[in-house]
Structure 1
């Protein structure tokens, strides 16, 4: 029986992935940064390395991702890859981000390259912007002012549902058909935020709009919400890449790997409409 350690198992991708793997017969260790409270949970702090070696002991596979809030992702991920190799883990699946391979100096790309050269069986998945951001990170503006506030102009993005990301990860961790390869993951269509707002409005039964805001307004909003300055600048850089059109690309990787078409934004909006209604 395969034992898989899932980092971020309480997050949107990790929680779904852990459930999918367990349903397929995997023994799943659910890593959490909080105190473990369930028999299948282990406490792991990637920022300090605390708990990682113990959590990896006897594991066959690792689903690895950087916790949110860190701009220096490679400083957390590279030691985790090395720890996995030292523990005798066979395969590591790294959650990166679409566009990370544009420059070898990008922190996530440094982690990708380290994994590729590690001697381990590996996969990298690079998803585009999550649909779930609209009921998490961007929710406050929708709830309080009925607006999505972002500095991205009328650029389009091929948003992806995190449930599709988890489904891809589960498939990659359940066989070697796609091993030792990176996959860019997107939805099946590109939409601008005005179109997104219209779809959310239809599902929620209320008017939701989109306001293109200056970058400085976004910076002050993120800092005011308590985000670290370096992570704020990281987010502004990737939002700038969105505005420049780099998030509009569409791939067929979800369908190719899972055999299912990606979830459309309309379905996502129906499934999560209570957050905006």
Structure 2
């Protein structure tokens, strides 16, 4: 059995990935930027604190682009370098679908840094998470029964974070797909009106979608505590959603795990209590 470091182990992907790896008999070091509790190790990507200690003696590591920051290359590069120096065998990096579209983008620079490190690697680029609806977009749904986003009528092949974790678990435990990048999506694409209907059915109350402008959304993002540069980044990628770039469907989840990705009709009932 192996030892794996999972950065962001308290998040939607990291928590499920940790569970899957432990269920397979492995030892998991759950990385957290907060004070470490039982089964956790302190890793602060902003200051670099704890990186070497967390990576020492592990066989593989899962890294992700830290939310709220736009300099992902600067934050993740030192972790990749430390993994190489400490003899880690495999690193799986999660960025986002579309990260490879801009060679000068910070996420793509982080990917290239890993790809050129000499480590065995995988990059996974998930599309928009279904879980965003009960986290980032939850306030409007709970208080007003409305999803407010500047995405027009465009569709997205939303993916369940649990399927992203399942892919990462397979990639960490073997090298069949080594040194490849994968765009991860759900099995179908939905617009936000369709999402609202499915949420309404699952929650037993009416949810509707309202298309808003980026200018309308930005103050709310800032009020929620997002840094201005990250708010602008989020609005930029939502604009790409509106242009149709999130609609593409891939077979990567099925190809890697052998199972079909979950549909929204599974996600919504599973998380019903989160919307209460």
TM-score under structure 1 length normalisation? 0.98
* Secondary structure, counterpart of 1:42 in structure 2: strand
- Per the alignment, residue 70 of structure 2 pairs with 71
Report how far residue 173 of structure 1 moved: 0.7
* CA RMSD in angstroms, aligned pairs only: 0.8
- Per the alignment, residue 35 of structure 1 pairs with 35
- Per the alignment, residue 23 of structure 1 pairs with 23
Report how far residue 83 of structure 1 moved: 1.0
- Per the alignment, residue 158 of structure 2 pairs with 159
Structure 1: stretches of 5+ with no match in the other structure: none
Residue 71 (structure 2) pairs with residue 54 (structure 1): no
Report how far residue 241 of structure 1 moved: 0.6
Report how far residue 276 of structure 1 moved: 2.7
Q: What per-residue deviation string (whole Å, max 9, x for no partner) do you get for residues 142-195 of structure 1?
A: 011110000000000000000000000001011111110000000000000000
Q: What per-residue deviation string (whole Å, max 9, x for no partner) do you get for residues 7-44 of structure 1?
A: 00111100100110011121111111111110x21010
Report how far residue 120 of structure 1 moved: 0.3
- Per the alignment, residue 118 of structure 1 pairs with 117
Structure 1 stretches of 4+ moved >3 Å: none
Q: How many residues align?
A: 276
Q: What per-residue deviation string (whole Å, max 9, x for no partner) do you get for residues 232-273 of structure 1?
A: 011011001100100000000000000000000010011011
Q: What per-residue deviation string (whole Å, max 9, x for no partner) do you get for residues 43-90 of structure 1?
A: 100111101111111111110112211011111011111111111111
User: Whole-Å Cα distance in 1 between the matches of residues 237 and 75 of structure 2?
Assistant: 20
- Per the alignment, residue 3 of structure 2 pairs with 3
Structure 2: stretches of 5+ with no match in the other structure: none
User: Whole-Å Cα distance in 1 between the matches of residues 71 and 236 of structure 2?
Assistant: 14
TM-score under structure 2 length normalisation? 0.99
Q: What per-residue deviation string (whole Å, max 9, x for no partner) do you get for residues 92-137 of structure 1?
A: 1000100000011111100001111000000000000000000000
Please list, as runs of the form range in 1=range in 2, the aligned pairs for 1:173-192 lying within 5 A after superposition.
173-192=172-191
User: Whole-Å Cα distance in 1 between the matches of residues 247 and 206 of structure 2?
Assistant: 25
* Secondary structure, counterpart of 1:173 in structure 2: helix
